[in-house]
Amino acid sequence: MMYSRIAGTGRYLPEKVLTNFDLEKIVDTTDEWIRTRTGVERRHCVREDETTSDMCVEAAKRAIQKADVDVADIDLIIIGTTSPDLIFPNVATIVQHRLGIPACPAFSIEAACTGFIYALTTADKFIKAGEAKCALVVGAECITKLVDWTDRNTCVLFGDGAGAVILKSSEQPGIIGTHLGADGQYKELLYYPVGASKELHKAGTDEAGIVMAGSEVFKVAVKTLGNVASQALESAGIDQSELDWLVPHQANIRIIQATAKRLGLPMEKVILTVQDHGNTSAASVPLALDVGIRDGRIQPGQLVLMEAFGGGFTWGSVLMRL
Ligand code: ACO
């Protein structure tokens, strides 16, 4: 039986940092409101001329270096993002060209905040099926370019960044279990009304921001993520006490605390980046994973549960040994 295993991780965060105090000057909000409701203290924002592919390339270089692989060995590229450079060509092909990776399947997956979990799960299947041996998997967003900076309900939540992993075939797991889900009935609670179909655009223009019913999203996220985490452990026959780390989607500290509580996991076993990164959508899980690995908390052989929830709604988990 062939498994997949993470061989290296990397991250990139834009240089520009926007604190809650900076936001107080932009919209009617306070540092106190943002911190207590979300846990966010600051977030990184791309420059106007900086793109999702720019961030992917930097994060990927670091993951490639850490994994000690040659770009010529990479035979699959999957990028989870909802803020690609262009509608097409897909951002994975742009990254492929810029990194000099030889011809191979390269595509992006749009599953909102669950994009990286969808991408990693797909790469795992390719490797298990013998279709790939060394995959570059990235979660990346320049979501602050999509944000309406006059809407205090949403602009305080988000940040930009990219997290990358090199996933290699291995005789030892590696990835133990993956679970993906989606339920399209919730579209109206969270969406971005711009795409190829102009008639669906907000007020019939290209002017748009993220449309979000925050407290409704919150309730479904808490319930779903609790179920996702339990399902991941149950189906692998693993007791929650065996879990070393939870690496959750960093949407809101209160959602993360609720999931940890449901798992009976102390917050010391949760990798938290929401305070420094905000909600970076598809980038949030790989960014947090890289932070936890590089600061030495997550050690080789440890059991890690990653989970995410986002627009769609979509959700998913990956249970693995590092
Ligand atoms: N500063 C000050 N006041 C604000 C702000 C702000 N930035 N934003 C909203 N408010 C006000 C609202 O207008 C409202 O005022 P009102 O009562 O006079 O109408 C009040 O604060 C309370 O708003 P609520 O929506 O009840 O606040 P809540 O405690 O639910 O927190 C939040 C809002 C943070 C958005 C929360 O619901 C949340 O995190 N939801 C999840 C949303 C999310 O994570 N979306 C990202 C994508 S999905 C995902 O990643 C899981």
State pLDDT tens for residues 87-118.
Answer: 999 999 999 999 999 999 999 999 999 999 99
pLDDT tens for each residue of 202-237 = 655 556 789 999 999 999 999 999 999 999 999 999
Average pLDDT over residues 170-180: 96
Q: What are the tens digits of pLDDT across the range 55-67? A: 999 999 999 999 9
Among the atoms of ligand 1, which is closest to the Cα of residue 254? 39
Using DSSP bridges, classify how beta strands 303-310 and 314-321 pair: parallel, antiparallel or unpaired.
antiparallel
What does the CA dihedral 78, 82, 84, 87 come to, rounded to 10 degrees? 100
Q: What is the pLDDT of residue 196?
A: 84
Query: Which residue numbers are catalytic?
Result: 113, 249, 279
Considering the entire predicted model, what is its pTM? 0.96
Top mutation candidate among 29, 141, 218 for ligand 1, by most atoms within 8 Å of CB: 218
Distance 37 CA to ligand 1 centre (A): 7
Atom of ligand 1 nearest to the CA of 153: 8
Provide the pLDDT for residue 232.
95
Q: 287 C-alpha to center of ligand 1: Å?
A: 24
Q: What is the pLDDT of residue 197?
A: 82
pLDDT of residue 194: 85
- What mean pLDDT comes out for the span 41-61? 98
pLDDT, averaged across the chain: 95
pLDDT of residue 276: 98
- Give the 3-state secondary structure of residue 35: helix
| Strands 245-248 and 303-310, sheet pairing | parallel
End-to-end CA distance of the chain: 18
Ligand 1 atom closest to the Cα of residue 215 is 37
Residue nearest to atom 26 of ligand 1 (CA): 215
Tell me: pLDDT of 53 over 80: yes
The mean pLDDT of 29-37, rounded to a whole number, is 98
215 C-alpha vs ligand 1 centroid, how far in Å? 6
pLDDT at 170 over 70: yes
What is the structure's pLDDT at 14? Answer: 98
Ligand 1 binding pocket, CB closer than 6 Å: 29, 33-34, 37-38, 113, 152-153, 156-157, 190, 212, 214-215, 217-218, 221, 249, 251-252, 279, 309-310
Closest atom of ligand 1 to CA, residue 249: 50
Buried b / exposed e along 278-299 (16+ C-beta atoms within 10 A): bbbbbbbbbbbbbbbbeeeebe
Our mutation pick for probing the ligand 1 site, out of 25, 147, 217, 277, counting the most ligand atoms within 8 A of Cβ, is 217
| Beta bridge pairs of residue 191 | 211
pLDDT value at position 193?
A: 87
